[in-house]
Structure 1
Amino acid sequence: MDHGGHPPRRRGRLIAASAAALALGAAVLAEGTPAAAGAQPQGHDVSSHQKNVSWPAVRADGGSFVYVKATEATDYRNPYFAQQYNGSRKAGMLRGAYHFGVPSRSSGRTQAAYFLRHGGAWRADGWTLPPALDIEGNPYSKRKCYGLDRTEMVRWISSFSGEVRRRTGRHPVIYTTTRWWNSCTGGSRAFGADHPLWLANWHDSPGPMPAGWSFATFWQHANRGLLPGDQDVFNGTMKGLRQFASG
């Protein structure tokens, strides 16, 4: 996912999306559960890297939804958030906001409160996707898992989630990778039952799910493509996506 506004992330090698991933032919969002090609809503996620986006063009290119970076830790706000978040809605797209969590800097509850004050709020209008937490590799240090042990990491995520749930009535979507999750939470199964999964895996299939989940609600399948930013797909129909947004 685009980092936006801070130094580039120290990510693993960038994996160019294959033609199969971009076409999503016979996409598989849950192990052993094929989805009809082309039936799923196509979307993307953006941050300050994309700056002012031409949303009518995105809509014309088939974009149905977008997640927009709002905040990071408690000291960063996406300067393009209003243009991206409100502009996508005006173009007829469903949109949601995400927060890049930095567990080494402050508590989950503190970061959730900051996020909700600066764009992460949710309302049941049928157009607003639930708030999302981006929790993945540390872009600022080589310290694995932000220096937290597995119990501390699970507690941090629970703290973030609890504050979002308390203030919005929705559990946050969790964006992560299978490898990071299983390593840094110790394969925690505490979130899979009620937190939608947004899985990042830049291959031609989602691959194994993180512990606790049997399927991904969203799949980020490429870091570039037809739409600005990272490329995503919803595991369902457009009707299902609207129902998901409405809660």
Structure 2
Amino acid sequence: MWRPLFCIFALAAPLLVGGCAGGGFEEDPFPTPSDYQIHGIDVSKYQGEIDWASVRGAGVQFAWIKATEGGDHVDDKFAQNWASAKAAGIPRGAYHFAYWCRPAEEQAAWFTANVPNDPDALPPVLDVEWNGQSKTCPRKVPRDVAISEMKIILAAMERAYGKRPVIYTSVDFHKDVMQGEFADYPIWVRSVKCHPALKYGARKWRFWQHTAEGRVAGIKGNVDRNAFNGTPKDWQVWLGAMTVASRA
């Protein structure tokens, strides 16, 4: 049975949810990012030209690659990153950035039209956040609408790729929409100031985006860094389960 490091400290979580003790990883009682053994990155066009062989040599063990946004945008570097990461031997998956001004059916169709069905790929990811800084779609939809739209996209992804999608989310979106929902999906959380238990409470999570200012050989400038919640054995089991599911 998978036993994440999070569970070791579950009893302490209710006392600390809502703030970061001292404002830093080193001052709270939870594991720091370096305590996890499986590390990866997520990238988009903003990372520019990536030397994926050097990225692998730096110890990166997985990568999430931006593919699409809304119903009419493909990341400029997606095709190149998708092919090059695989050639370098790095497990990689594609993510879609949800756009709350476009019907869910159109977004799902756009993603599946632009992301190849590679049986060896990681599961697809649905990235759900509020985007108040957007010049074209800063709106927040009601909770029930957001949940309904998410379910449509997630179901379409699973039908197309044969794998249960991962959901990426931020603290505010999780609080507004996801609490009490989507317990049967792998969750990827953003928490750059402290351990996810301090921001997401008892939510079980698989991946933790812990910084937007990571540095990795082969990438010029900053890159998001992520940790997998489990041991190397857990990681291999999870990868194997994803591959079997896609070929069933």
TM-score by length of 2: 0.75
> How large is the Cα RMSD of the aligned pairs?
2.7
Structure (1 or 2) with the larger CA radius of gyration: 2
Deviations, residues 201-223 of structure 1 (Å, cap 9, x unaligned)? 10241234648x63211100000
Work out whether residues 65 and 94 of structure 1, in 8 Å CA contact, stay in contact via their aligned partners in 2. yes
- Tell me if 1:110 matches 2:106: yes
> Which residue in 1 is equivalent to 2:31?
26
> Which residue in 1 is equivalent to 2:35?
37
Distance in 1 between residues matched to 2:144 and 2:186, nearest whole Å: 21
Q: 1:234 aligns with which of 221, 225, 228?
A: 228
Deviations, residues 146-203 of structure 1 (Å, cap 9, x unaligned)? 33111111111111112112222223211002322221x2x4423112x110000102
TM-score by length of 1: 0.76
Identical amino acids, percent of aligned pairs: 28
Query: Against the structure 1 CA distance between its residues 20 and 49, is the aligned structure 2 distance closer, same or farther, given a 3 Å change threshold?
Result: farther
Greater helix share, 1 or 2? 2
Q: How many residues align?
A: 211
Structure 2: state its 5+ residue gaps: 1-22
The 5 A counterparts of 1:209-224 are 210=200, 214-224=203-213
> Which residue in 1 is equivalent to 2:191?
201
Structure 1: state its 5+ residue gaps: 1-16, 29-35
The 5 A counterparts of 1:1-247 are 26-27=31-32, 37-38=35-36, 40-104=37-101, 106-119=102-115, 121-125=116-120, 128-138=121-131, 139-140=133-134, 146-183=139-176, 185=177, 187-193=178-184, 195-208=185-198, 210=200, 214-227=203-216, 228=219, 229-236=223-230, 237=232, 238-246=235-243, 247=245
Displacement over 6 Å in runs of 4+: none
Work out whether residues 99 and 137 of structure 2, in 8 Å CA contact, stay in contact via their aligned partners in 1. no
Distance in 2 between residues matched to 1:143 and 1:56, nearest whole Å: 37
Letter in 2 for 1:189: G
